[in-house]
């Protein structure tokens, strides 16, 4: 499957915001976005006024890159969100938040969503007592996610548990780091997603 394999910090610089793609490093003075908060290139340039389409496109790219999904996957999520009852933009963000790799990241079992996706593919986690290896699985209220007992000493998981306090655990999840276990208390609401996202711009982009 196609994946972006270049420097992730370039994505943050391109979008003009921290997307927290490199985990704990993003909170330190080593963060490339803090050092060079301008788009990739030889030198900072004065940005021209962006069209409405460009603004909408950048918002969509920002969210897509933040959750680490491909263009086709993102469009599929939008179609599902549009078919559901309620506000399409909110439905879209909730579907993305409910991805298993995102939940594992939110619970503090990985430094980033990208790392969480890799750990899931290697079968290091169990969902409701069954081993899983599909990062895009949608969690439900009441689901229990835990690290397999044989994998609880994996260094990246232990390190992630030590630094999770920097970003905290959202209210719709409950994490028990000592037991390497977490649960879904409720489905996420719009107010649980604190990252600055204007989902209406994405709806307008796909509605053209």
**Residue 175, SS3 per DSSP:** strand
Residue 2 lies in a domain: no
Q: Provide the b/e sequence for 33-68 (b: ≥16 CB within 10 Å).
A: beeeeeeeeeeeeeeeeeeeeeebebbbbbbbbbbb
pLDDT per residue over 172-204, tens digit each? 999 998 899 999 999 999 999 988 899 999 999
Pair (74, 106) in one structural domain: no
- 14: Cβ contacts below 8 Å, ≥ 6 apart: 39, 40
Pair (108, 181) in one structural domain: yes
Total structural domains within the chain: 2
Averaged pLDDT, 37-42? 64
* CB contact at 8 A, 38 and 44: yes
pLDDT per residue over 53-98, tens digit each? 989 999 999 999 889 999 999 999 999 999 999 999 999 999 999 9
The answer to whether residue 33 scores a pLDDT higher than 60 is no
Q: In what order do the strands lie in the sheet with 125-127?
A: 130-132, 125-127, 144-147, 181-184, 173-176
pLDDT per residue over 165-177, tens digit each? 677 789 999 999 8
Task: Provide the residue range defining the domain that includes 171.
Answer: 99-187
Give the CATH number of the domain where residue 50 resides.
1.10.1050.10
- CA-nearest of 15, 22, 87, 20 to 54 is 15
């Amino acid at each position: 499957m196609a994946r972006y394999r270049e420097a992730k910090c370039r994505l943050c610089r391109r979008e003009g915001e921290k997307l927290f793609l490199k985990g704990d490093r993003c909170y330190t003075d080593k963060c490339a976005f803090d050092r060079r908060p301008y788009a990739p290139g030889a030198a900072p340039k004065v940005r021209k006024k962006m069209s409405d389409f460009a603004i909408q496109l950048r918002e969509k790219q920002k969210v897509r890159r933040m959750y680490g999904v491909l263009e086709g996957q993102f469009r599929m999520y939008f179609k599902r969100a549009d078919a559901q009852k309620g506000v399409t933009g909110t439905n879209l963000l909730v579907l993305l938040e409910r991805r298993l790799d995102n939940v594992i990241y939110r619970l503090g079992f990985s430094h980033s969503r990208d790392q969480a996706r890799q750990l899931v593919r290697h079968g290091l986690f169990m969902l409701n007592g069954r081993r899983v290896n599909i990062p895009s699985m949608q969690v439900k209220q009441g689901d229990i996610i835990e690290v397999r007992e044989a994998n609880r000493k994996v260094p990246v998981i232990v390190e992630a548990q030590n630094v999770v306090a920097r970003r905290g655990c959202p209210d719709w999840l409950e994490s028990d780091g000592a037991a390497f276990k977490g649960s879904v208390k409720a489905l996420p609401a719009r107010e649980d997603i604190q990252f600055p996202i204007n989902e209406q711009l994405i709806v307008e982009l796909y509605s053209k």
